[in-house]
Structure formats: structure tokens, C-alpha cells
Structure 1
Amino acid sequence: MCKGIYNVGKLKLLQELRAFAVNKENEGFEINQLEHLTELREVGIYNLEKIHTKEEAVEAKLIQKDYLHKLTLDWDSERPNSEPGAEVVVLESLQPHRNLQELRITGHRGPSCPTWLRDNLVVQALQSLSLFSVSWDIFPSFGKMWNLRELVLSNISTIKEFDLEQSFCKLVRKITLTGLENFEKWVPQPTHFLPHLQVLIITDCPKLSELPFSSHIVYPLKQDWNIDWFPKLQKLKIENCPEVLLLPPIPWTQSLCSVKISDVGSKLVKKLVYSKSSSGVELEVNAQDGLHNLDQVLLFSQLTEIQELKIKNCPPLELKYFIMLTSLKKLWAWSSNHGVVASEVQSGGEWQHPVEDIKIWVSDSSGKELTQFLSHLPKLSKLQVYRCENITQFAVGVDLQQTTSPVVSSSTSSDVTIDETQAKDEQQEIAEVEKEEANTVDDDGLLLLPAHLSNSLQTLVIKIGGAVVHSLSALQAITTLWLEDCSFYHPFPPTLLDLQLSSVKGVQTMESLSNLTSLTRLEIYRCGEDLRCEGLLPLLTRGQLSNLKVKGSPNFFGGWDPNPMRGMTESKLQNLETDDIEGLLDAPVLCSLLSSSLTSLDFIGNHETTRFTKEQEEAFQRLTSLQELWFWGCDKLEHLPAGLNKLTNLKRLWIWWCPALRSLPNGGLPSSLRELDVNRCDNEELTKQCRRLMGTIPKIIL
């Protein structure tokens, strides 16, 4: 960019001047600075509203620049006043050399395009034409532009019709029409097609009622059956055109790689996104009430390579189409049925589908319907079920066949001793639940995982309010389990690597997790005020647990018994996030255990702690491996730990939404600190103190 170069006209060998702002009031920025720049390949001339006469405009000598291939002529679109007559003369006098290939004109308020763009076309080599915010009633003769490859028309209110001349259609590869507030139709409705068009973008055209050739594609005449409309089209984008009712089925041509349709007048879809790349084919459909069958908007014969399908508010997918999607790996359904017509699934017939990932969100399908559906999916490895009110119970078929005897809790580990009374109570409770399970196999609300999934299912997510989740011990391959707003009274599968529990009834003690020695990630949210962490000791000392998040269980770390920890010197826990500040720091032995491994500590959402006691300060200083420390949403916290400067490995300190915090510790911050962020505390005193540290800490965000 050479926009601000004084006397740029002296750089006679200059080849690129992307932005030259005309300023007659300042010497050295007049338009005649361009006169002798005959080597220019690209130039952008701005502030042309300051040029009023033919004599001034011709001083640019654009017609003599035979190397010039790219030209921008710009009038300020936000200017309060204009002189249409003068602007006509100026634009006419800025005629470029016939070799010009790319032209952009912005903000011209004359009544017509220049004559050198009309029937007697001068710039016959033109390949790209972009018109923005012009006020013309007379437009260029697009049909005369034999070499035109790209056309952009944007924010033009005077266009009502777009003339698709056959000569124009021959070579054009990209058409962009955006912000044409009065654009209504394509004229004429041609019998030819755009054989080389690769990109078609139409946005913000509120009066446009039909896409080019859409009627030919949706309702082809007999003579059109063998015509491939837009045979090379790769990208189609139609947005905010509320009068467009008729849409072509996607993808009607194999060349399509990207489609985005949204906010149109169609009664079929709110949004449709299709993409095809080297990583696979993906499709998302968000339906309107008028969509009764997905084949109204999708051409399934062209979707055999699709790998990911997301449907929202859609009718069920007919089985005959579902089994055509032989490459499908992921099916997600929101506010829809489970994806395939239930009656067709239940009617029998031997069929299988290789889909591996199913996500169902807010579906009215019953447990029985989903059970039937899952029985045909032998390769399913990931199942997620959210807010499906008709599903009241969840179980594994193999487990229901093995409920003849009570299951002893796996928490009777050699590492932990359980009170005998507690163990008996737990066994009795499990036995009662299993007895109930055996009597509810035929319940429509029961989603029963087929036995064949015991060896394939790796990820299971159940977030269904009030649902009862029965034993999952038969899932031999499961590594990820997320449960939310449900009940679970059983031991957890020992193969788990990732466990998330949120508002789960039945998790009365962490002893039931002691067998999960392979677990690397554990998240616990709102699972009871009496929940304590003692049962985690085997995971911390002999397991693989490296990430732990606990919120909504006050004093989770409180009352920790140090006796079982004697002789245990280290853990593998690296990241800890909790709202139980006092409970953690009131357990100095636990802090010592974590001292060599814990690198990231997040205190989030604590609404009680105001300051730290001497004992808590000492416990905090034992966390010598900390590299990252967060205080987030601790709205009553007035003081940070005084010994913060003794954490010599600390590199990042974030303090967000802690309005009561007035200052940093008196002892200062560790010299190892590389980043300090306090920009969400809204505290001027703290901000001033941090500002004084500028230069001593590489990155400070205020």
C-alpha cells in the first residue's frame, strides 16, 4: 500500500499502487501524480469525488498505461453530497487501456455507466467486473464482454432485472449478487445454461422470487431431462432472499462442493449446508414445517458418499434412503425422530447400516423405537441421547439377562475398606433396582442397547431428565461415559477413561469409582452436598487420573483423612478445577500429594471465600509445580494467597470476575510469571497496580 507516499509520481518504475487517495488540497497527492507511472500493473484511485472536471481526470492518463491489468475507481459511498453530472464526465475521462483485465467501480452516482463499457466495448480483455453502490440506470453490455469470468454486483438499488444473455453465459465462472434491494427476476428465462459457472452467490435480495433455472431442475420438461444445469458449479450460496420459494434438490450436480442456503422464502428449509472436501462429505438440514419428506430437498442418489448428516426439525428419513447412504458415519438428529421411519424399522426385514456415531436431541421417539433402530447398527461406537422425554429407562440387553443374583459393589477394593453396613445397604439397593429392571423389559420407555453393542460401543452420553440408567457393566469396550439428570446406582465399567457426572442421583460416595484405575478424566457437577473425595485416593495414587473437575459439592475435599495417605508421595493429577477452595487448602496432606504433578489449578465459581488462613496459605505453597492459576467468579475474594511469589514455576495468572479483589499480594508475584490477566475484574485499584508492573511481566491484560 502506497496510499500516503508524497509525490509518488516520481517512482516511475512503480508497478503496484493499490490505494492512491486523491487530495488536491495537499501538494504531492494530486491525480496528475499518476501521469508518468506507465509501468503500473495495478492501481486503486480513491476520493474521486474530489475530481470535478474532465481536464483533471485525464491527467491520470489511464488510457496510456498499456500494462495496467487491475483498476479500482472509488467514490466515497458515505459522502453527503454528489454531483451526478460531473461524476459522469469524470468516469468517462478515466477510460483505461483496452488491455485491462480487472475493474472495480464503487460509489459512482452518475445515471449511467461509461460508454467504454457499453455496446462499443473498449476493454474487451476484461475478465472481472465489480460494481458497488453505483446509481446507474444504464448498465454495461455484459453480453459484449466475451472474456468475462467474474461479475460482482453489490448494494445497487436500480437493478430490477438481470439479463442472462447467451454470449455472457459462455465463459463466466463466478457471479455474486448481493444487496440488490429491487432485483426481481432473471430475463429472459433462457433455454441455455451456464456451462462454466463455478460460483453463484446471491444474498440480501429481498424481492428476488426465483433462482436461475431452478424450475428447470425441480420440474424438468422432457427436453430438459438430459441437460446438466450448471455442470461445473462448485459453490452455491443463497442467503436472506425471503421471496425465493423454489430450491433445487441438493446436490443436483456432482460438481457441487459447497452449498449454503438460509433465510429464504421456501416453506421447506430454514438452513441447508452441504460441503464436499478431501476430508469427506457433510450435510446439515434445518427444516421448516412444510417439509414432509427429505427427498423434497435432497437428491439421495448423489449422496452415497456422505459421511456426516445433521438434521433438525426434520421428518423421519425413509429407510429406502437411509440404506442408500452407505458411507454415512455420523447421524445427528435435533428435534426430529431418530432418523429412520419407526414403522419401517419395526416392520422387519434384514438390513444393517455401518453408521458409527448417533446423536439424538429432543426426539419424541420411544425407547422401543430406538431399540429397534439400534439393533441394525453393528458398528455403532458412539451414542448420545439428550432430552428425549419418552425414554424413561436405559439398559444393556446382556445385563438384563444376568440379573439373577445381586452384584457386589466393585468398590470393595484392596485399597479402600468399606463399612460392612454400607456395603450391605448398597447390595440391597442394587438388588432392588435389578428386580425392577427385570420387570420392565417390554416398557415402551426402555431403551435397551442390543447385545452386539457390548463389544463396539466406546462412547455413551445420556442426558435425560428423570431417566433411570441400569447396569452398564456389559459394555466391555466403553471408554467415555457422560450421565446427566438421571439415576445410576451401579458400579462403573472398569474400562472407562473419561467419566462425567452431572446431577446424577445414586452417586453417594466416590468409593464406587475406586476400580477405575484407567480413568484419566473425571468431571463431577452438582452430585450432592454430602459427596466427599475419599474414594478418589486410589485414582490419585495408583491410577492414571490427570484431569479432575468438581463443582456443586460443597466441601468435597473437606474432612480428608490423612492416615491412608501416609507413604504415598505423588499423583498423576495435572489439572484441577473446583469451587471448593477452602476444602482443598484445608487438606495440606493432599496438597503435598499433588505438589509434584499439579500444573494447572482453577478456582471457579466460589461465593464464600474472602481470604486465606495461615494454614491455607501454607498448604497452597506446597503446590510447587503450578504453572497456571485461575481465580474465576470468586466474587467475595478480597485477597490472593500471600505466598504467591513462592510458586517459582508459575507462568500464567488469570483473575476474572473477582470484583472484591483490590490488590495483588504484598509479597508480590513470582519472577517466573509470563502472563497476568485481570481484564474482567472491573476494579480500578487492581488495574492501576497491575499497570505499574508493565515491563516486568511480558504480557499483561488489563
Structure 2
Amino acid sequence: MENLKRKIDIGNLRTLMLFGEGNASMLILIKDLLKETKRLRVLFMHTNSLQSFPHNFSKLIHLRYLKLEIPYDVELSLPNAVSRFYHLKFLDLGYSKCILPKDINHLVNLCLLNARKELCSNIPGIGKMKYLQRLEEYHVKKRDIGFELSELGDLTDLGGELKIFNLEKVATREEANKAKLMSKRNMEKLVLAWGMVQRTTRSDVLEGLQPPSNLKALVIKNPGGSIGPSWLCGNICVNYLKSLHIEGVSWGILPPFGQLMQLEELTLNNIPSTRRFGPNFGGVTQKSFSHLKKVEFVDMPELVEWVGGAHVICFQRLQASENKLISHGYRGALVFDNLDKVEDMSIEEMPHVSLTDLQKLSSLTRLAVKGCESMLFSEVEEGVIFPSVQQLEISDCRLTRNSLTKLLNRFPALTEFHLKFSSFEVGEEAVLQLPSSNLLSYVKIWCCKNLVLPVADGGGLHDLSSLQEVEIRGCGKMFDRWSMVEARTRTSKFFPASLRELNIIDESSIQSMALLTNLTSLTHLTLVNCDNLTVDGFDPLITCSLKELVVYNSPKADDEIHLSVADVLFLQVATRMTKVIPAGGSSFQQLEKLEVDSISAVLVGPICSLLAANL
């Protein structure tokens, strides 16, 4: 301590940053150090209890910046002295579960409170902190006192995103006006949310919540009333909006979307009365939507027509969910001939759309389909091909025996294929025969019961010569046919040698590691809860390039003895490495992450010597 005093003028110290927990002697040193400093402006320290704060913490009244590093699992009440640091501008608590002093709103000069949003939204009388620049959430009248909407009135410096909940508790426009949202020029996104229960029928509350004219994103959810606010549905005062989300409204007239010339994203959700969207409705003109890239319709069963202006062909992303969309006419926004610029499309429960329609989207690179098996697997002409689609995602589809194989032949340029939560006729096995490809690099198959891969030549994934990553999870029968054939009688391998990452999770059908013998270039291998897996046919060569290895089975409640695959696997490596691995080579030398269900498997002498220093 004396040496430190000779080198540093502790009395005039302005900044002190202490990293890590430190030991007992270090904590004593820090407390002694802070006894003599009275002009500290910046303090960064680790703390896990009130005892770890310095004795004169309450005297650090000149602090401008205070960062407390608190372990996530520690619930710590901050000292009441924090509320008396009136000059404090920045208080950083990270994502800790600390408890703020009741009078924390006395920090009238605070500009930034970096903490969990739940913590910030629990501050009563937050309006006193008038220089605050960020408040993610505000719940109106969360408690009886200190949570009125008027508390937001003086927070004119608020920026970024602000979500206001419980607006059904606001009774009048006069009360709404007191939030003074229009004066918050630094705000970029505003969410106005009413609860589903006790929803007000007054329209003028929303009228009083007019945002600043330079707002970039606006979300309105479940407001009452039959008339939209004049600042959005009449003479628009938010002309710089780039994103607009309207949900659960019963307005007789929707906003004139076509007048929002900067609009890039539009979402309409649960607006059941809307039947038509076109030139004579919503203010759409031929100059509208010149920047629009994403459109999403959700739960709008009455919508039957959308006719847009000339610029709708510029859409790059289109989403439609649970809708009945029928377009016609040259300027129809869903006339597929006009959607040649669409690159990303998601479809959910739209049985009237056909593959022939989608083929007209000549720029399409990603297609995600949920349900819609009548569209995917209907009989269409052989010439219906999607040469530009690189990523295909299919989920929640009922497939038949060879339907998936026929479909995939229509996508010759695929680089990524995702299949999730798809089922089949009861008792029927569906065969997945992926077409040979030198482009497909990623395959993910989740929870597809009864899906099997054939053993015959061209079966498995072996002919996908560019395949880099595979994830198979919870299918149940994927490897059944391969498990019934002995390794020595197989004429081909299951996976291509190009594979770098393999993740098999919750898959009881894989029974032997012989299926992996040719994967000597693997860098990531995950085998989790593969209950019937054995190390029969295991080749230690597949461990030479591994950077990440995760092997374990979660114990079951009725297990008397928990059998660890990792135990046997590491034993195989230890006993066979000198016989199988070439001179100069070694297992696990590249390993950076290791996760197993048996630490004893790793603490074997030969294995410890193989592990990389950077594990």
C-alpha cells in the first residue's frame, strides 16, 4: 500500500477500474485505497455482497460513472447511498438481479441506466430522472403511485425503443397528452400496447399519443375504438416511418399506407374486417411502396384482394400467414408475374397457391413453407423447376412415401435444406432420397417421425459431395435400414467425407459409430441422447481434426446404472491410437470444447496427454 501511495496521488484519483473477483487481501487493499480518495469520478468493481463495498462508499458523491459487476445468480440490494450520488450520469448493472433503492429516482442527472428491462420498469416516479436517454419498457399504473403515464412527460431525451404497456388503464386523451411523446425527438421505435382484457372503446386516447414526426418504427396493438388517430389515418404526421405494425384494430378506415413513402416493412395482424387493399383503399397510388421490402399479413381471413401500384414489383421479402390472398390485374401486388424481384418468401396455410405460381418468382433464393402440403406435393408439370432457390425450409407437412423426393428434384440449386415437424401416414415409412448434388452444404432434419434413408446405392447422404453440416434430431427411424445391415456388407458410406459438422440428438435409431468411419475431416461432433448407440466400428481417426466434441446421454429416472458412451469411446481412443493413427498425428490436438457425461472418461492418463492446451 505504501509503495502504491508513492507512485499514485490517491487523494486526487479520478478513475479506478478493478477487474475480476480478487482475493481477500486484494479486497482489503481496495477498501484501504478508497478510504483516501474523495474525488473519484469513475468506478468499476466486482461485488457479490454488501460487505464487498468499500467502507466510505457513501462518500463517493462525485461519481459520474459507476459500473458494478454482479454475478448473475446473486440477488443483491444496492446500498441506499447510490441514490445520493446526485452527479451520477451512467449506472451500469449489466444483467444482474440486484434490487434498486426505493428512492433511486433521486438520481436526477442520470443519463443511462444499463440494467435488465424489468429493473428499469420498476422505478416509481421515474419522471424525476429527466435526462434519462433509454427506457425500454413502461407499464402504466403498474402500482398505485408513481407509474402514471404523465411520468414520461419530462423524459424528453429518451431515445432508441420505448414500449408502453397497459394503455387500457388510460381513460382520457388529456391523460394521454401528458406523456408528451411528440417531444421525444431521439426516439426511433415506439410500441403502444393495450391489454386484451378491459380494452377501452375510446378512440381519443390513441389520438393523444402522437409520436414525433421523425419516428422510424411504430407498433400499435389492440387499441379500442372504431376510428384511427388523425395523425396516422388522416393527415399523416409520421412521414419518415420505415416500419409499421398494426394489430387488433377495428378502424373503419385504415391508414393511407401509400403516403408513407419511406416505408420498408408493413405488418397487418388480426384485422378481420379488411377485404381489399388497393388504389382506392389505403391511399395506394402508382408511386407508392417504392422502398417496401417486407409485407406480412397475419390472421386476416376476409382479405381477398391486394392491388398495388407500379413499385410493388420491388419487394424483396414477402410473408403471408393464414390468409386468403387472391390477386388479379396487371398491377396486382400478388400477381406472381409482378413479383420477379422477391428473394425471400414465407408461406403458411395458403392452399390456393401452386408451385406453378411460385415458379414465376424468378429471383427467389429462399422459400419457407409451413403446412401447404397440397401445394408442395400436387401433381404438376415436370418442367416446374426452381433454379434460383438456394434455401428451402419445410415444416408441419404431412408427407407420403415418395412425395419429398419428387419435390426436392425441383430444386437443383439448393445449398440449405431444413425439414421440421413433418409427419406421415400412420405406419407408413417415407423415404428421403436426396438428389445427388455438388451444391448442398447444410441439411437439418428435426422431428420427422417415420422418415428413413435408403441403403441402396445413392442412399444416405453420401452423394452430396459438398455437404458440410448435418443436424438430425428426434426422428426415430432415420437410421433403421442402415442399422440392419452389417458394416462389412455395405457398398457405400452414409455420410460424405466432406462433412465438417455432425449433430445427432435424441435419435434412437443410430446404433453404431461405424456410420462415421470415413469422417476424418470432422471439426464438430455432437452425439446426445442416442440411447442405442455403441462404439462398434469406431475409428479414432475421426477425432484428429475435432475442435468441438459433445457426447452424452441424459440419465433417466428408472436407470439403475447410467451407461456412458463417452467412457467407451475414450477407452477405444486410448487403446487404439498407436495402431490406427499415423506417426505425427494425434487425437484431440485441435479440441477447444469438450462436453461429456463422465469425467472419469477424460481423466485417464493417455487421454489427458492428448488434450490440447487451449481446451
TM-score (norm: length of structure 1)? 0.57
Describe the shift of the 1:300–1:200 C-alpha distance in structure 2 as closer, same or farther (beyond 3 A).
farther
Alignment correspondent of 2:148: 209
Supply the AA of the counterpart residue of 1:625: S
Q: For 1:475 and 1:151, locate their aligned partners in 2 and report how far apart those are by CA, in whole Å.
A: 49
The Cα of 1:674 is off from its aligned counterpart by: 0.7
Describe the shift of the 1:210–1:688 C-alpha distance in structure 2 as closer, same or farther (beyond 3 A).
same
RMSD: 5.8
Describe the shift of the 1:572–1:294 C-alpha distance in structure 2 as closer, same or farther (beyond 3 A).
farther
Check if 1:697 corresponds to 2:611: yes
Q: How do residues 501-512 of structure 1 correspond to structure 2 at under 5 angstroms?
A: 501-502=394-395, 503=397, 505=399, 508=403, 510-512=405-407
Describe the shift of the 1:347–1:314 C-alpha distance in structure 2 as closer, same or farther (beyond 3 A).
closer
Check if 1:601 corresponds to 2:518: no
The Cα of 1:687 is off from its aligned counterpart by: 4.0
The Cα of 1:628 is off from its aligned counterpart by: 1.7
SS at match of 1:460: strand
Alignment correspondent of 1:625: 521
Describe the shift of the 1:40–1:641 C-alpha distance in structure 2 as closer, same or farther (beyond 3 A).
same
Does the Cα contact within 8 Å between 2:231 and 2:237 map onto a contact in 1?
Answer: no
Q: How do residues 256-655 of structure 1 correspond to structure 2 at under 5 angstroms?
A: 256-258=186-188, 267=200, 281-289=216-224, 292-293=227-228, 301-315=236-250, 318=253, 320-336=255-271, 342=277, 345=280, 350-351=285-286, 352-354=288-290, 355-366=292-303, 368-369=304-305, 371-372=306-307, 377-388=312-323, 390=324, 449-464=334-349, 469=354, 471-472=356-357, 473-486=359-372, 487-488=374-375, 489=378, 490=380, 491-502=384-395, 503=397, 505=399, 508=403, 510-525=405-420, 526=422, 528=424, 529-534=428-433, 536-538=434-436, 540=437, 543-551=438-446, 552=448, 554=450, 556-561=452-457, 571-578=465-472, 579=475, 580-583=478-481, 588-591=490-493, 594-595=496-497, 597-609=498-510, 611-612=511-512, 617=514, 619-634=515-530, 636-640=531-535, 642-647=537-542, 648-655=544-551
The Cα of 1:32 is off from its aligned counterpart by: 9.0
Describe the shift of the 1:34–1:546 C-alpha distance in structure 2 as closer, same or farther (beyond 3 A).
closer
SS at match of 1:327: coil
SS at match of 1:211: helix
Does the Cα contact within 8 Å between 1:463 and 1:483 map onto a contact in 2?
Answer: yes
Describe the shift of the 1:254–1:450 C-alpha distance in structure 2 as closer, same or farther (beyond 3 A).
farther
The Cα of 1:322 is off from its aligned counterpart by: 0.9
Describe the shift of the 1:334–1:591 C-alpha distance in structure 2 as closer, same or farther (beyond 3 A).
farther
Alignment correspondent of 1:219: none
Does the Cα contact within 8 Å between 1:317 and 1:340 map onto a contact in 2?
Answer: no
Select which of 133, 139, 145 maps to 1:199.
Answer: 133
Describe the shift of the 1:652–1:251 C-alpha distance in structure 2 as closer, same or farther (beyond 3 A).
same
Select which of 583, 588, 602 maps to 1:671.
Answer: 588
Alignment correspondent of 1:164: none
The Cα of 1:323 is off from its aligned counterpart by: 1.7
**Greater Rg, structure 1 or structure 2?**
1
The Cα of 1:382 is off from its aligned counterpart by: 2.0
Supply the AA of the counterpart residue of 1:199: Q
Using the aligned pairs only, state the percent identity.
13
Q: For 2:113 and 2:387, locate their aligned partners in 1 and report how far apart those are by CA, in whole Å.
A: 62
Describe the shift of the 1:493–1:677 C-alpha distance in structure 2 as closer, same or farther (beyond 3 A).
same
SS at match of 2:545: coil
Q: For 1:548 and 1:62, locate their aligned partners in 2 and report how far apart those are by CA, in whole Å.
A: 61
Q: How do residues 104-183 of structure 1 correspond to structure 2 at under 5 angstroms?
A: 106-107=79-80, 133=101, 149-150=109-110, 179=122, 183=125
Supply the AA of the counterpart residue of 1:671: F
Q: For 2:281 and 2:42, locate their aligned partners in 1 and report how far apart those are by CA, in whole Å.
A: 67
Q: For 2:213 and 2:537, locate their aligned partners in 1 and report how far apart those are by CA, in whole Å.
A: 56
Supply the AA of the counterpart residue of 1:361: V
| Count of aligned positions | 515
Does the Cα contact within 8 Å between 2:368 and 2:394 map onto a contact in 1?
Answer: yes
SS at match of 2:572: coil
Supply the AA of the counterpart residue of 1:209: E
Q: Which runs of 5+ in 1 are unaligned?
A: 21-26, 51-56, 81-104, 118-122, 143-147, 155-175, 187-193, 215-228, 399-446
Q: For 1:453 and 1:250, locate their aligned partners in 2 and report how far apart those are by CA, in whole Å.
A: 43
Which stretch shows the higher mean deviation, 472-481 or 337-346? 337-346
SS at match of 1:668: helix
Q: For 1:649 and 1:38, locate their aligned partners in 2 and report how far apart those are by CA, in whole Å.
A: 56
The Cα of 1:645 is off from its aligned counterpart by: 1.3
Which stretch shows the higher mean deviation, 200-209 or 552-561? 200-209
The Cα of 1:622 is off from its aligned counterpart by: 1.9
TM-score (norm: length of structure 2)? 0.63
Q: For 1:556 and 1:687, locate their aligned partners in 2 and report how far apart those are by CA, in whole Å.
A: 35
SS at match of 1:500: strand
Larger strand fraction of residues: 1
